[in-house]
Amino acid sequence: MDLRKYAALIMGVMMVAGVAVSHAETDDDEEDDVVSNVPAQAQICAGCHGPDGNSLVPMFPKIAGQHPEYLEKQLKNIKENVRVSPVMAGIVATLNDEDMTILATHFAEQPARPTPSVSNGPGSIGEKIFQTGIPGAGVPACASCHGANGQGIAPGFPRLAGQHANYVTTQVQAFRDDQRKNDAAKMMRMVAAKMTDADIAAVADYIQGLK
């Protein structure tokens, strides 16, 4: 992707989100839009992740309801360049440990809003991979670490339920291609290495539909 276009997209989203954050803080008549006690550190996050952590842009992850320990680890890993993210690097560079804890706690407390799956609901290939794995390929069930409903197991295994399929696909492929390396004991890299693009797309869509 052209980085200039990518940067322009992010700036555009941030400008729109700035209005959304203001609206969320002041409009008491629309409860669904209200995000209470938003810390100052979270204002810039709204540009990509939404004022309440429920990103509307598929390439940016939903972080609402995520385990705080996991969120904090990702921020630290990006700052330390253990997890490479050109978009996030400049943002986390300005954060100290206390900021990261505040942000992780805030977004973990926000209710996650699900997104319907496109085609991989009950009885689908995506469900089969998530719940039982791909025995013939040596791929374990995603549910064994992330829970049958995708709620994750804190602190090491993140909540996946409702996450954008686009983002899940990108991250699993990054693990498979050894571009993302901040998984404990190379666990995700070993699993993803045995998955095809079709496998990843199917399970990612199923994950998006979990609540």
Q: Express as a percent the part of the chain with pLDDT over 90.
A: 77
CATH of the domain at 7: 1.10.760.10
Cα 56 from Cα 75, distance rounded (Å): 21
Position 177 in a domain: yes
pLDDT above 90 for 14? no
- Three-class DSSP category at 121: coil
Between the alpha carbon of residue 84 and those of residues 89, 101, 182, 188, 189, the distances in Å are: 8, 20, 9, 16, 15
> With 70 as the cut, is the pLDDT of residue 73 above it?
yes
Do 60 and 85 have their domain in common?
Answer: yes
Q: Which domain holds residue 158?
A: 125-209
Q: Please tell me whether residues 20 and 103 are part of one structural domain.
A: yes
Is 83 found in the same domain as 145? no
Residue 142 annotated as binding? yes
Taking CA atoms, 96 is separated from 55, 72, 113, 208, in Å, by 24, 11, 29, 32
From 82, 108, 134, the end of a domain falls on 108
The structure tokens listed for 198 are 């079709």
Annotation-wise, does 49 bind a ligand?
A: yes
Is residue 45 part of an annotated ligand binding site?
yes
The whole model's pTM is what? 0.84
* 145 annotated ligand binder: yes
Number of domains in the chain: 2
Please check if 190 is assigned to a binding site.
no
What is the per-residue pLDDT across 183-200, written as a single tens digit (0 to 9) for each? Answer: 999 999 999 999 999 999
Annotated ligand binding at 88? The verdict is: yes
pLDDT digits 0-9 by tens, 99-138: 999 999 999 999 999 888 888 888 999 999 999 999 999 9
